[in-house]
A and B are shown apart, each in its own frame.
Chain A
Amino acid sequence: MAHEAAHDHHDDHHHAPQGFFQRWVMSTNHKDIGTLYLIFSLTMFFIGGSFAMVIRAELFKPGLQLVQPYFFNEMTTMHALVMIFGAIMPSFVGLGNWMIPLMIGAPDMALPRMNNLSFWILPFAFALLLSTLFLPGGGPAGGWTMYPPLSLQSGSLAYAVFAIHLMGISSIMGAINIIATILNMRAPGMDLLKMPVFVWSWLITAFLLIAVMPVLAGAVTMLLTDKYFGTSFFNPHGGGDPVLYQHVFWFFGHPEVYIMILPAFGIISEIIPTFARKPIFGYRAMVYAIACIAFLSFIVWAHHMFAVGMPVGADIFFMYATMLIAVPTGVKVFNWVATMWGGSMTFETPMLFAIAFVILFTIGGFSGLMLALVPADFQYHDTYFVVAHFHYVLVTGAAFAIMAATYYWLPKWTGHMYSEFWGKVHFWCSVVFVNVLFFPQHFLGLAGMPRRIPDYNVAFADFNMISSIGGFLFGASQLIFLGVIVHCAFFSKKKATDRVWEGARGLEWTLPSPPPHHSFTVPPVVHDEELAHGHVSD
């Protein structure tokens, strides 16, 4: 993607390797590996999106028209696995790879060869996972949560489990790399509390990854031994407990949800100050809020399980703990608004996506608060209300933040400006159609439509049709995104300046656009006024 080959405005003589194989497959360069991650996640985004199109097409009207129910279940399961582990997580790792060394003044990631390995595991993991769709028994169809005993009925369980192990190892290696980079590779003067919020958010996320990926590995391994080696962890006929799996899974699963949103918080905290031309409001409060949310994520897992019949005391504990999350999350939203207040704002595409993030993620947060109230959750649980909730936080939350980040840093990566016009077209199409797609799903859930069903009563027909139309148009809008990226990387004539955005602050903007293949080989001298948070007293 990046053409570092022929730039004469920097005096760095370390150029990228010339051979394609050498450069991309053997790479130990954080920028190239970051690019690989981003391309991989974009590919997965379209593959997972195509599964979503199948789902929405089948749900377009009542009656089964296109696929058998079992294949429908494969689609919902694969859509979730691909989007979570293939699109959102790797894109954050890609952004972290690209930007963290540039933001803290490090020459590269701390462990460049491991970096290569953690990327190259992923294509194999997903080839394994996706290949199950072509196997005689079909792919996993028990939902991405893989609740036993249902998941034990699937013939492709072993494939899914092995793929998940690979993804977990990749994530853990990525997380170790990021922590080691942030803790040890900072340029002199880049104190922890002067780091950009994005770096902070990734540091905390990496700890979450390290803490929970082994738990997932343990849970799915128990599924594997239950199915193939005669154990009875979750098999009631052998004295096992299916609910135990859910506890273990969600002990991973809830921090996992925050793994997918904390880096997004970081991105938004970079973009809003840039385009408001005003420092982030309450820098320390923002960092503490992220840490606080990360801590709380470990003690709220059973709020995914209010319908399994837990003791009332457990229900109450998990309800209260879950509601607490609203406080630090609220602080973040208020601080973003306060950053905008009194600023001098312009509305380029990254800022538009960031503003849409704040509004739409907050709507997802509201439905999250409603879901925390146990008596109401007895009704919401496992309905389209939940589907609407987590798509508001994951699509208009995480995915919008990733798109905002792409527009924000694309000129830095490629050295060229993207088309602002087509970026805005992409934004407006996305923001309109994503609401057409997901907002009616709140109504469907409240009216009583369960999730993960391929067909429904005619009472649900109207909103489903609206949702499907929104889905098709939202999916089509993402082709614009692809077009803008390809145009910017290969065809754009408009050179990007070093700073790119008038209000941009931070070390990454002191480098040329695109940065040389090896940057900060000698640690830069950090001037506080160059940093977004150089003079932190709050």
Chain B
Amino acid sequence: MTSGSIRTDAPRTHRGRTAGIRRIVAASLALVLALGAGLAQADPHPWQLNMTRGSTTWSGEAYFLNNVALGVCVVIGVLVFGAMFIAMFRFRKSRGAVAEKWSHNTTVEIIWTAIPVIILVVLAWMSTGGLVSFANTTGAQMTVKVTGYQWKWRYDYVDYLGKPVSKVDYMSKLDALSDKTRQLDSGMDPYAVKTGDENTYLLNVDKPLVLPIHTKIRFVITSDDVIHSWWVPEFGWKMDAIPGIVNTAWTNISKPGTYRGQCAELCGQDHGFMPIVVKAVSPEDFAKWLAAQQQANAPAAPAPAASAAAPATAQVAPAGSGEHG
């Protein structure tokens, strides 16, 4: 607020103040851009401040709602806390303030009850839309069954483009390097666990879930032991995997990439060590991958060679890649 201090003419303070305001606006814009720029990196990334925009047709709903609600809260907060600080400054005994006697005012009470109601109705209307679209799992072109175990995930490909898929199912668990590094007093550096130049400590698996993009995929999610929760932040939702119950959810991925998530419901000692990795590929690549998997699994003998066709993220796949269903 002092940028105008070298000027000596009358409008000094005014210009100084507007310049200050402009600078605040510019700074907040820069901050917003910085947040936006974060989208270019893989999430999560260091110093990430906001939710990811996500990479599916639906994930924007959660992101948008988050931003709107945050904005509403910031505005209300500025007004309420602003009024408080003005009161704390103006009505201090040390400044000679004398307490007034009034203790209610029906008009303002009605106003500050009504305005929040209006804001809430708008927010409720917006989130109902997102919720209803999320609940609609019809019209899926593909089904994947996800089963939680202590402490790994199992994926069964149930059907794809109307045709049942058989014998494509496998376990997916924490990669060997992360697992070795995460042991108590391992002496290993979590910063050294990398896939390419991305740190994937605790966010990598031996065999990722491979999914096609531009396909409405229906997940049926359940568990074999305790409750887990299947969560890939880029999809915009998490869904509990509950023994004895089959939950459904859907996604439609917009762009190819590797999306990482974690179990989000406390499930025992290794709850923090059962990540989820989704490798999203084009439908053509997916069809090829699926065919290779089916072929490899068709003979009775297990065929570890199949992992050669598996996506490149499984670099650290150890001997455990033979652990098919």
Direct contact of A and B (CB under 8 A): yes
* Chain A residues proximal to chain B, CB less than 8 Å: 62-70, 73, 141-143, 147, 149-150, 153, 236-237, 240-243, 276-285, 307-309, 312, 315-316, 319-320, 323-324, 326-327, 330-331, 333-334, 337-347, 355, 358-359, 362-363, 366-367, 369-370, 373-376, 378-383, 443, 446-450, 452-463, 503, 538
The reply on B134 being an interface residue by CB < 8 A is yes
Looking at B80-88, B164-172, B280-288, B309-317, the stretch in contact with chain A turns out to be B80-88
11 A-B pairs with CB atoms under 8 Å apart are: A68-B269, A278-B103, A312-B135, A342-B99, A344-B93, A374-B131, A375-B134, A378-B238, A379-B236, A443-B50, A538-B104
The reply on B215 being an interface residue by CB < 8 A is no
Q: A376 contacts B104, CB within 8 Å?
A: no
Q: How far is the CA of A341 from the CA of B233 in the complex (A)?
A: 44
Least Cβ–Cβ distance between A413 and chain B, in angstroms? 25
Least Cβ–Cβ distance between A438 and chain B, in angstroms? 15
Most buried by A among B123, B225, B271: B271
Q: B46 contacts A373, CB within 8 Å?
A: no
* Chain B residues proximal to chain A, CB less than 8 Å: 43-52, 61-63, 65-66, 69-70, 73, 76-77, 80-81, 83-84, 87-88, 91-94, 97-105, 108-109, 112-113, 116-117, 120, 123-124, 126-128, 130-132, 134-135, 181-186, 188-191, 199-203, 221, 225-227, 229, 231, 233, 236-240, 242-245, 247-249, 261-273
Q: A278 contacts B244, CB within 8 Å?
A: no
Q: B100 contacts A309, CB within 8 Å?
A: no
Q: B199 contacts A458, CB within 8 Å?
A: yes
Known A316-B131, A338-B108; judge A307-B238 contact (CB<8 A): yes
- Residue A149 contacts which of B81, B225, B248, B269 (CB distance < 8 angstroms)? B225
| 4 closest Cβ pairs, A-B complex | A236-B244, A453-B272, A538-B104, A309-B247
Q: B69 contacts A342, CB within 8 Å?
A: no
- Residue A359 contacts which of B44, B45, B81 (CB distance < 8 angstroms)? B81
Q: How far is the CA of A62 from the CA of B46 in the complex (A)?
A: 13
Which A residues lie within 8 Å of B44 (CB)?
447-449, 457, 459-460
Which B residues lie within 8 Å of A143 (CB)?
266
Which A residues lie within 8 Å of B229 (CB)?
307, 381-382
Known A149-B243, A242-B242, A344-B98; judge A459-B45 contact (CB<8 A): yes
Which A residues lie within 8 Å of B249 (CB)?
309
Known A337-B87, A355-B88; judge A147-B98 contact (CB<8 A): no
Q: A376 contacts B264, CB within 8 Å?
A: no
Least Cβ–Cβ distance between A151 and chain B, in angstroms? 9
Q: B103 contacts A457, CB within 8 Å?
A: no
Q: How far is the CA of A448 from the CA of B104 in the complex (A)?
A: 45
Q: Which residue of chain A is the closest to B96 with respect to CB atoms?
A: A344
Q: A358 contacts B84, CB within 8 Å?
A: yes
Known A343-B100, A373-B65, A378-B62; judge A456-B272 contact (CB<8 A): yes
Known A153-B226, A307-B229; judge A362-B77 contact (CB<8 A): yes
Known A323-B120, A369-B73; judge A345-B92 contact (CB<8 A): yes
Task: Name 20 extra pairs, CB < 8 A, besides A308-B240, A383-B264.
Answer: A63-B181, A63-B186, A66-B184, A236-B243, A278-B101, A307-B240, A309-B240, A320-B124, A324-B120, A330-B112, A338-B105, A340-B88, A366-B76, A370-B70, A373-B127, A378-B237, A379-B233, A448-B262, A452-B271, A459-B48
Known A446-B51, A459-B199; judge A327-B238 contact (CB<8 A): no
Which A residues lie within 8 Å of B65 (CB)?
373, 375-376
Least Cβ–Cβ distance between A317 and chain B, in angstroms? 11
Which A residues lie within 8 Å of B203 (CB)?
457
Q: B66 contacts A376, CB within 8 Å?
A: yes
Which B residues lie within 8 Å of A381 (CB)?
229, 238, 264
Q: B233 contacts A448, CB within 8 Å?
A: yes
Q: Which residue of chain B is the closest to A280 with respect to CB atoms?
A: B103
Q: How far is the CA of A254 from the CA of B142 in the complex (A)?
A: 39
Which A residues lie within 8 Å of B190 (CB)?
62-63, 455, 457-458
Q: B184 contacts A68, CB within 8 Å?
A: yes
Q: How far is the CA of A454 from the CA of B151 in the complex (A)?
A: 15
Q: B103 contacts A382, CB within 8 Å?
A: no
Q: Which residue of chain A is the closest to B232 with respect to CB atoms?
A: A448
Most buried by A among B77, B97, B182, B265: B265
Q: How far is the CA of A447 from the CA of B45 in the complex (A)?
A: 8
Q: How far is the CA of A262 from the CA of B207 in the complex (A)?
A: 50
Q: A369 contacts B238, CB within 8 Å?
A: no
Q: How far is the CA of A341 from the CA of B102 in the complex (A)?
A: 10
Q: How far is the CA of A277 from the CA of B96 in the complex (A)?
A: 13
Which B residues lie within 8 Å of A453 (CB)?
262, 271-272
Q: A355 contacts B61, CB within 8 Å?
A: no
- Residue B184 contacts which of A67, A369, A461, A538 (CB distance < 8 angstroms)? A67
Q: A373 contacts B100, CB within 8 Å?
A: no
Least Cβ–Cβ distance between B142 and chain A, in angstroms? 20
Which A residues lie within 8 Å of B98 (CB)?
344
Q: How far is the CA of A485 from the CA of B50 in the complex (A)?
A: 41
Q: How far is the CA of A382 from the CA of B249 in the complex (A)?
A: 18
Q: A277 contacts B93, CB within 8 Å?
A: yes
- Residue A450 contacts which of B126, B186, B243, B264 (CB distance < 8 angstroms)? B264
- Residue A142 contacts which of B66, B97, B240, B266 (CB distance < 8 angstroms)? B266
Most buried by B among A142, A339, A373, A461: A373
Least Cβ–Cβ distance between A538 and chain B, in angstroms? 3
Most buried by B among A281, A285, A319, A345: A345
Which B residues lie within 8 Å of A67 (CB)?
184
Q: A382 contacts B265, CB within 8 Å?
A: yes
